[in-house]
A = this chain, B = another copy of it.
Amino acid sequence: MTYRIALIPGDGIGLPVTEAALQVAQKAAPGLLDCVTFPWSCEHYLQTGRMMPEDGIDTLRGFDAIFLGAVGWPAKVPDSVSLHGLLLPIRKAFVQYANIRPHRLLPGVEGPLRKQGFDILCIRENTEGEYSGAGGRVHVGTPDEVAVETSIFTRVGVERILRFGFEQARKRRGKLASVTKSNAQKYSMVFWDELTHQIAADYPDVEVSHYHVDAICARMVMAPETLDVVVASNLFGDILTDLGAAIQGGLGFAASANINPTRSAPSMFEPVHGSAPDIAHLGVANPIAAIWSAAMMLDHLGAADAAARIMAAVEATTAQGIGTVPGQDRTEVITAAVLAALD
């Protein structure tokens, strides 16, 4: 059995971390991954006028999974091109509705909080809501200008992400936190609250809490150990997972999976960090988030053992103090340590 993987290293530090992640994955699961690399990136845009070819989505559809390094180079290419021309369309086209992001401290990593023990799994809705792209502007450039941006939430969209969250909670510590802002947004967020109540009835074994997004942000900092699975909308999940990355020591440790649970299309795995063009030339990008994301990919493809061995190797590496301080170790030093720990 081999799986066909589309690699999109992207821009900046996306390239070295993708290479690192692939080396580790190939060693942990020899022969399992058959990779094709696509040069789709801001560089590609500058040459071709597109982040990916017109048939890019169709090309990707034939793969078993996608691994993305990072895209974006704001000084050269506006976000409206780089993100809306690649990352966001892939998430939507392949109905990767569950964006899964684990937040815990790896051994040896000293996060910014005094508190050390927490293990949170954020499940972010990835296809609609505040990222629907609906809106417009009138009277542009005049004193009367108005911009509107509309969040669209559908029952199918909200239900499936909540059910996914409940299933995950069942496999973990049985606690689910549903995040809204229903005290201020009375259409979308009240709807989300109602669906949470309804679906909770199917999961009597899961303990449900309702938080407003402001309150759960505070909780992630004051009492992260009280959280288990956190389910949130596209925007709130985005915010919570950067905060989750922060409390776990930084974006260098934040992995993610954009999952299509029905498997009707490929899922995509990517570190949460961006392309960091400002530090891309320094050679100190931390590959751990990318390696962790590759482990999530193997797990999704059914190679749970290889995934577990990668995570054990990552933990052995950070426990030695390698890769634990941002900017301290070179990418290849960290990668070599993880590869060695796989032996």
Contact = CB atoms under 8 A, between A and B. Distances in A.
Interface of A: 72, 79-80, 83-84, 88, 110, 112-115, 130-131, 133-137, 142-156, 181-191, 213-215, 217-219, 221-222, 234-235, 238-239, 241-243, 245-247, 250-251
B80 A190 contact: yes
A94 B213 CA distance: 26
A108 to B, nearest CB: 16
Given A84-B186, A113-B113, A243 B243 contact: yes
Given A218-B251, A247-B221, A147 B187 contact: yes
Given A80-B183, A135-B186, A145-B155, 6 more contacts: A72-B183, A130-B184, A133-B186, A181-B235, A218-B246, A221-B247
A222 B154 CA distance: 35
A134 B146 CA distance: 14
Which one of A83, A84, A150 has the highest number of Cβ atoms from chain B below 10 Å of its Cβ?
Answer: A150
Contacts of A221: 112-113, 221, 243, 246-247
B83 A183 contact: yes
B152 A146 contact: yes
A36 B250 CA distance: 50
Nearest to A136: B187
A28 to B, nearest CB: 29
8 contacts: A145-B155, A146-B153, A213-B239, A218-B251, A221-B221, A221-B243, A221-B246, A243-B243
B147 A153 contact: yes
Contacts of A235: 181, 184-185
B242 A149 contact: no
A1 to B, nearest CB: 37
Instruction: Give 10 closest A-B pairs by Cβ, nearest first.
Output: A135-B187, A214-B242, A149-B188, A218-B246, A79-B183, A147-B191, A221-B246, A145-B155, A218-B242, A150-B150
Contacts of A245: 218
Nearest to A217: B243
Contact of A184 (B83, B190, B243): B83
A184 B78 CA distance: 12
Given A79-B183, A188-B135, A218-B243, A151 B152 contact: no
Nearest to A149: B188
Given A135-B188, A150-B149, A191-B147, A242 B222 contact: no
Contact of A151 (B112, B133, B149, B238): B149
